[in-house]
Structures are given as C-alpha cells and as structure tokens.
Amino acid sequence: QLQASGGGWVQPGGSLRLTCAPSGPTSDYNSIGWFRQAPGKEREAVACIRTDYPRTYYAGSVKGRFTISRDNAKNTVYLQMSTLKPEDTAIYYCAASEVRFITSTWSNSDYYTQWGLGTQVTVSS
C-alpha cells in the first residue's frame, strides 16, 4: 500500500512537493513512479526513480520543472513540482514495481504492481 500526499491548490508558476510513502522500505521495490490523470484524459506517466541504480526518468511535459527524489532514511519518494502550469492540474498517483526494471517500460502503468490513492493538484489563478 502506498500513500500519496501533498497536493493542493497553487497559482501558475508556483510549486508543490508531493510525498509517496510505501508501507515498507523503498528498497523492496525496483522502481517507484508518479502518474497523473486529468479529467477526461487518460492516466499518464510523470516520473520514475529506480531504487537499484541512481537513475530518474521524466515525461517530456515535465522535464526541467519536476524532480523526483528518494529519502532512504524516511522510506519516502518525493515529487518536487515547480513552475506549475494549469495543464498540470490532475490527480497524482504514486506507484511501485517489484518487477525487474526495463527502461522502455517505466512509463507503462502495467509495469507497476502497487498503487496508492491519489492526491489532487490544482493549478489555477
């Protein structure tokens, strides 16, 4: 079970930090990712961090604005979101995978075996 938190309302250009807390150590998973789903749209991958190797992956729409990171001591994964845009408005979900990591599959939701409840992010003026 994963728990995502930190969502809220922010004006365009603002920042938010989302937190994902797995029920166990993050090292139990091969990777942890963030997805989002806006109203009327399909769920899309946002970012992913490997736990076995220091690599991160981002969707093109957030690259340079969002940063995914992991705090091993707190067993927590963060998504720092900056320069937020109205199109970033969505429910954000964190997910974890115990499956062997393959670079080409990080953005495929089927790769992830555990999901948490989402947290709403609203960007508007």
Question: How far is 27 from 12, CA to CA, in rounded Å?
Answer: 35
Place of tokens 């109203």: 39
Per-residue pLDDT tens digits for 15-37: 999 999 988 888 889 999 999 99
Per-residue pLDDT tens digits for 41-74: 999 999 999 998 889 999 999 999 999 999 988 9
Cβ-contact 18, 118 below 8 angstroms: no
> Nearest Cα to 79, choosing from 121, 47, 31, 45?
47
pLDDT band at residue 114 using 50, 70 and 90 as cut-offs = very high
